[in-house]
Amino acid sequence: MPKKTYRQAINEALRQEMERDPRVVLMGEDVAGGYGAPGEDDAWGGPLGVTKGLMPIFGRDRVLDTPITEGAFIGAAAGAAATGLRPVAELMFVDFMGVCFDQIFNQAAKFRYMFGGKAVTPLVIRTMYGAGFRAASQHSQCLYPLFTHIPGLKVVLPSNAYEAKGLLIQAIRDDDPVVFFEHKAMYDEEADVPDEAYAIPFGEANVTREGDDVTVITMGRMVNYANQVADKLDKEGIGVTVVDLRTTSPLDRETVLETASETGRVVVVDEAHPRCGMAADIAALVGQECFGSLKAPVRMVTAPHSPVPFSPALEDIYVPGPDRIEAAVRATLDNAVARAAE
């Protein structure tokens, strides 16, 4: 199977879906780039080159550069979706949701309910998230818990290139509004990705490692760190199950509860902040539904309750990494430590 980067996988998913369905259009700031400028056309393909090469194939009527005007074009994507197109809008960095969130959570997310089930809004918002780029507080956040909170939205976090292609194709074919989170530090990471189009269903978590001792539940980039930890501990005879949620909404409750009950020791890893985030959400669910099976308190590994710092020295300790995940896994195995922590 051919190796492709996360970037190539996303580009390929977009191209194949645009070839399949003429109602699929892309829009966003610099998705082609160079519009009206004296130099190269299709100059950027997005700031990190993810959509490069699509405009020359599909033309400017289907790859729509926008002014820097998220409130207008994210809303336009919602309005276009409700009237017959299947737009894929790029909200460059999820941090920019502040200027267009109304159009996402008050408009697109609510059309179907407010209009008594008569609206269909097949909208995809692709957006970059995550720290590690030295991009500081306004270009590094993991705001997917905010979107997960909103009924009417679906929230997707692909953990590698294979997942990215299959989940994006599903997102484009889905009839509900989907927010698709791409980790900006993963675009050059490679995986085996089939050439043909395939869709990965939403709400079906992927168990990437199986072990008998501890269950690590996570999503997005953190899945890779959890896998590294599982592989390392396996050599010591510690069995770690890793659950890649794939989508935080819908949530695969069944797999979460089954894998949590099987080991009785659970670590939830979330790159977002700890308060009202995915880690707290999953920990509460496991605590409520699996109380009788638990052998240790559920542990949360998250970023701190602080903005993302700029300095590399600070950012490197800010982002949860394999070391912290490993320490949490070991702590759940040491019941004495676990009890003392309470």
Partner 1 sequence: MQLSREDLLKAFERMCLIREFEDAVHEEFSAGNIPGFVHLYAGEEASGVGVCMHLDDRDNIASTHRGHGHCIAKGVDVAGMMPEIFGKKTGLCGGKGGSMHIADLGKGMMGANGIVGGGPPLVCGAALTAKTLKTGGVAVAFVGDGASNQGTTLESFNLARVWNLPVIFVIEDNGYAESTASSWSVSGSQTERAKGFGMPATEVDGHDFFAVWEAAREAIERARAGEGPSLIHVRLKRYYGHFEGDAQTYKGANENEETRANKDCLMLFRRRVGEAGLLEGEELDAVERSAKQRVEQCLLQAKAADMPTEADLLTDVYVSY
Which one of residues 41, 102, 254, 323 is an interface residue with partner 1 (CB under 8 A)?
A: 102
Report d(CA 182, CA 160) in Å as an integer: 10
The CB-of-107 to partner 1 minimum distance in angstroms stands at 6
Residues 6+ apart with CB under 8 A from 261: 290, 293
Which one of residues 61, 196, 236, 342 is an interface residue with partner 1 (CB under 8 A)?
A: 61
Read off the DSSP letter of residue 274.
S
Which one of residues 32, 74, 97, 298 is an interface residue with partner 1 (CB under 8 A)?
A: 74
Return the number of other C-beta atoms located less than 10 Å from residue 246's C-beta.
Answer: 27
Which one of residues 80, 168, 172, 308 is an interface residue with partner 1 (CB under 8 A)?
A: 80
Cis-peptide into 22, omega within 30 deg: no
User: Around 176, how many Cα atoms within 13 Å sit in the side-chain half-sphere?
Assistant: 19
Token pair of 177 as six digits: 């509004």
Q: Amino acid identity, residue 271?
A: E
Which one of residues 26, 55, 63, 78 is an interface residue with partner 1 (CB under 8 A)?
A: 78
Q: How far is CA 23 from CA 19, 59, 76, 83, 219, in A?
A: 10, 13, 15, 11, 30
Which one of residues 32, 55, 81, 267 is an interface residue with partner 1 (CB under 8 A)?
A: 81
Token pair of 24 as six digits: 């699929």
Token pair of 40 as six digits: 């190269």
Return the number of other C-beta atoms located less than 10 Å from residue 123's C-beta.
Answer: 32
Q: Is 144 exposed, middle or buried (0-12, 13-18, 19+ CB in 10 A)?
A: buried
3-state secondary structure of 226: helix
Among 234, 245, 252, 241, which residue's Cα sits nearest to residue 215? 241
Using rule CB under 8 A, residue 11 touches partner 1 = no
Tell me the window of 2-10, 102-110, 287-295, 319-327 that interacts with partner 1 (CB under 8 A). 102-110
Decide if 139 is catalytic. yes
Nearer to partner 1, 78 or 214 (CB): 78
The CB-of-213 to partner 1 minimum distance in angstroms stands at 33
Residues 149-208 that bind partner 1 (CB under 8 A): 151-152, 154, 174-176, 203
Site size with partner 1, rule: CB under 8 A: 48
Site string for partner 1, 263-302 (x = CB under 8 A): ----------------------------------------
Report d(CA 142, CA 139) in Å as an integer: 10
Tell me the window of 38-46, 103-111, 215-223, 310-318 that interacts with partner 1 (CB under 8 A). 103-111
The CB-of-190 to partner 1 minimum distance in angstroms stands at 32
The residues that are catalytic are 139
Residues contributing to the site for partner 1 (CB under 8 A): 23, 25, 61-62, 64, 66-67, 69, 71-85, 87, 99, 102-103, 106-107, 110-120, 151-152, 154, 174-176, 203, 250
